[in-house]
Amino acid sequence: MAKLVILGIHSKLSLCFNPNATDLPPHQEIGMPSLSPTMTEGNIARWMKKEGDKVSPGEVLCEVETDKATVEMECMEEGYIAKIIHGDGAKEIKVGEVIAITVEDEDDIVKFKDYKASESPGAGDVSAPSEPTSKKEEVEPVKTNGPVAPKTDETTRAEDRVFSSPLARKLAEDHNVPLSSITGTGPDGRILKADIEDYLARTSKPSSKVTEPTAAPSLDYSDIPNSQIRKVIASRLLLSKQTIPHYYLTVDSCVEKLMDLRGQLNTLQEASGRKRISVNDLVIKAAALALRKVPQCNSSWMNDYIRQYHNVNISVAVQTEHGLFVPVIKDADKKGLSAIAAEVKLLAQKAKDNNLKPEDYEGGTFTVSNLGGPFGVKQFCAIINPPQAAILAVGSAERRVVPGTSPHQFEFGSFMSVTLSCDHRVIDGAIGAEWLRAFKEYIENPQSMLL
Ligand SMILES: *[C@@H]1O[C@H](CO)[C@@H](O)[C@H](O)[C@H]1NC(C)=O
Ligand SMILES: CC(=O)N[C@H]1CO[C@H](CO)[C@@H](O)[C@@H]1O
């Protein structure tokens, strides 16, 4: 069962709009968080805090189970747990439904002893009905930046300045026609239904399309909505860079023999109609074998202990137009190069088609990220993919001139730079260096990978 930490939680300051809570002191309703775009409900696996406990930001409140994973839900603000509404093992709680109440003041805890959540499901996440209407006007202008909103916004604002008949306004709204761009023919320039119909006729068939240029009044930027995957990656990278003490080790490996071996293997692969083996496939294999030699790098920091994994599952970073994915090659140390090559291609294709299943990307113990090859990046430092303890950043192979054996002599050779980012809590410098030496040995003597 995979476990990941999600940073944000769904919590909201409740201004006592709950009808049976009017006499209650200020408190926070903690709602069932939404952990994936498809999630509609979740279960409480168990509470790590009990009623009356003090909680601080970053502390784990409870474990939430979805169909995909068990996730630790962290506290965002300081306070006390006043009431747990859904206890251990509670099942099928709708996203947004209140699961607990927190208060700032310890003395307020008792006042929630007999607290009952209002029945309407989702009461916790629909804020609009309870809020005064003036709040709505504050919210509206923000939406101007959104991709769709400007049209309606334009219409509403135009209403303030332009006289129009209710029928005309309704028709304009239905067709996203900005009233400001219409000249009214009624008394005092009032816009009539006929004016809108005229306008629609003039701008002809794809009426909604035609209005778009006017609808987005020459903003010099565009706001791109965040996909769920981008939000998740953003919070995980932030968590990683803020909480993991990274350090970086770089080595150059000679890849002459690796290239020769790859050429020979690919002749065989092609003859038997199998997928060609890439340099990256060889890097994955070498990294997997190096992890077997230096299992300290095949581990996670778990706060109270270090977990060493019994499998070497290599996550491979794949960039697609939908975002960054890291599908996993399970037990890469035990797989042949041909199998790794086929699996990487299959998973990369699934990532491009936005078709990866949780089992395709869960359970990695180490990541390889390659910006060499087609990208031509010489060397870089990657951000660790938590809860893993290390990531290997692979640069491109390049021809270099190197000093020969005797003075005034030189030779040519192909070299590849790789940089290992390590979590210092798990991997000390010398251990990271040992891992890199093992990796380099496999890359420089690739036949040894076949043993
Ligand atoms: C690695 O993959 C194996 C095989 O699928 C799986 O049993 C194991 O749980 C995975 N390791 C982790 C840490 O998830
Ligand atoms: C496959 C493999 O070698 N994994 C290693 C990861 O770490 C554990 C703990 O030391 C080793 O037992 C495994 O061999």
- Model confidence over 127-148: pLDDT tens digits? 333 333 343 333 333 333 334 3
Residues with Cβ within 8 Å of 248's Cβ and at least 6 positions away in sequence, in order, are 381, 419, 420, 421, 422
The residue-averaged pLDDT of 370-374 equals 88
288 lines ligand 2 (CB under 6 A): no
Pocket-testing residue among 298, 300, 366, ligand 2, by greatest number of atoms within 8 A of Cβ? 298
Per-residue pLDDT band at 373 (split at 50, 70, 90) = confident
Name the CA dihedral angle for 162, 165, 170, 172, rounded to a multiple of 10 degrees: -50
127 lines ligand 1 (CB under 6 A): no
Hey, which residues does 253 pair with through a beta bridge?
416
365 lines ligand 1 (CB under 6 A): yes
At 86-108, the pLDDT tens digits run: 999 998 899 889 999 999 889 98
408 annotated active-site: no
At 309-325, the pLDDT tens digits run: 989 999 999 988 888 89
Measured in angstroms, how far is the CA atom of residue 103 from the centroid of ligand 2? 46
* Atom of ligand 1 lying closest to residue 310 CA: 11
Name the CA dihedral angle for 215, 217, 220, 223, rounded to a multiple of 10 degrees: -30
Name the pairing type of β-strands 3-6 and 70-74.
parallel
| Domain regions of the chain by residue span | 4-128, 245-450
Chain mean pLDDT for the chain:
81
CA distance 173 to 159: 11
Ranges of H-type helices in 162-313: 166-174, 193-202, 207-210, 212-215, 228-243, 256-271, 279-293
* Atom of ligand 1 lying closest to residue 330 CA: 2
* CATH fold for domain 4-128: OB fold (Dihydrolipoamide Acetyltransferase, E2P) (2.40.50)
Pocket-testing residue among 291, 307, 310, ligand 2, by greatest number of atoms within 8 A of Cβ? 310
Q: Return the DSSP state at 164.
A: B
CA distance 42 to 73: 12
Measured in angstroms, how far is the CA atom of residue 308 from the centroid of ligand 1? 12
Supply the pLDDT for residue 216: 56
CA distance 149 to 142: 9
Supply the pLDDT for residue 298: 83
Supply the pLDDT for residue 164: 75
Per-residue pLDDT band at 215 (split at 50, 70, 90) = low
86 annotated active-site: no
Pocket-testing residue among 315, 330, 357, 366, ligand 1, by greatest number of atoms within 8 A of Cβ? 330
At 35-47, the pLDDT tens digits run: 777 788 888 989 9
Is 229's pLDDT higher than 90? no
At 52-97, the pLDDT tens digits run: 999 988 888 988 887 667 788 888 788 999 999 999 999 889 988 9
Concatenating the DSSP letter of every residue in 389-406 gives SEEEEEEEEEEEEEE-SS
CATH top class, domain 245-450: alpha beta
The residue-averaged pLDDT of 389-404 equals 94
Supply the pLDDT for residue 418: 97
Supply the pLDDT for residue 41: 87
The residue-averaged pLDDT of 290-319 equals 92
Is 438's pLDDT higher than 90? yes
Name the pairing type of β-strands 410-423 and 299-301.
unpaired
Measured in angstroms, how far is the CA atom of residue 437 from the centroid of ligand 1? 26
The residue-averaged pLDDT of 387-395 equals 96
* 3-state SS, residue 123: coil
